[in-house]
Amino acid sequence: MASSFPSVSELVDCARRLYGQVFGEEAPQVAVCAPGRVNLIGEHTDYNQGFVLPMALPLVTVVVGSPTSGQDVTVVTATEDADEPRRVDFSLLGDGSQLSPGLPRWANYVKGVIQNYMAHPLPGFRAVIASSVPLGGGLSSSASLEVAFYTFLQQLKPDDGDKVSKALACQQAEHTHAGVPCGIMDQFVSVLGREGHALLIDCRSLEATPVPLADPGLVILITNSNVRHSLTGSEYPTRRRQCEDAASILGKESLRDATMKDLEEARGRLGDITYRRAHHVIEEIERTAKGAEALKRGAYKEFGKLMVESHNSLRDLYEVSCRELDELVSAAMEVEGVYGSRMTGGGFGGCTVTLLQAQAIDRTILHIQERYSGTPTFYVTTPSEGARALVLS
Whether residue 65 contacts residue 126, with contact meaning beta carbons closer than 8 Å, is answered with: yes
* Residue 215 Cβ vs ligand GAF, minimum distance, rounded to whole Å: 25
Would you say 12 or 139 has its CB closer to ligand GAF?
A: 139
C-alpha–C-alpha distance, residues 271 and 265, integer Å: 13
Would you say 89 or 207 has its CB closer to ligand GAF?
A: 207
Would you say 155 or 344 has its CB closer to ligand GAF?
A: 344
Would you say 182 or 227 has its CB closer to ligand GAF?
A: 182
Q: What angle do CA 56, 156, 127 make, to 5 degrees?
A: 70
Would you say 112 or 345 has its CB closer to ligand GAF?
A: 345
State yes or no: cis peptide before 121, omega within 30 of 0.
yes
Would you say 14 or 185 has its CB closer to ligand GAF?
A: 185
Based on DSSP, count helices (H) and strands (E) in the chain, helices before strands.
11, 13
* Residue 385 Cβ vs ligand GAF, minimum distance, rounded to whole Å: 20
- Partnered with residue 39 across adjacent β-strands are 54
C-alpha–C-alpha distance, residues 148 and 142, integer Å: 10
- Partnered with residue 126 across adjacent β-strands are 66, 74
Active site residue 186: yes
Residue-wise DSSP of 84-134: S-SEEEEES-SSSGGGSS-SSTHHHHHHHHHHH-SS-SPPPEEEEEEE-SP
Q: Choosing from 95, 186, 316, 362, which is the catalytic residue?
A: 186
Q: Is 249 exposed, middle or buried (0-12, 13-18, 19+ CB in 10 A)?
A: middle
* Residue 120 Cβ vs ligand GAF, minimum distance, rounded to whole Å: 26
* Residue 8 Cβ vs ligand GAF, minimum distance, rounded to whole Å: 23
Residues 6 or more apart in contact with residue 82 via CB below 8 angstroms: none
C-alpha–C-alpha distance, residues 329 and 321, integer Å: 11
Q: Is residue 354 classed as helix, strand or coil in its secondary structure?
A: strand
* Residue 346 Cβ vs ligand GAF, minimum distance, rounded to whole Å: 3
Residues that bind ligand GAF (CB under 6 A): 43-44, 46-47, 182-183, 185-186, 231, 345-346
Strand order in the sheet with 338-344: 338-344, 351-357, 218-224, 377-381
* Residue 220 Cβ vs ligand GAF, minimum distance, rounded to whole Å: 17
* Residue 140 Cβ vs ligand GAF, minimum distance, rounded to whole Å: 6
Pairing of strands 197-202, 87-91: unpaired
Would you say 127 or 182 has its CB closer to ligand GAF?
A: 182
Catalytic residues: 186
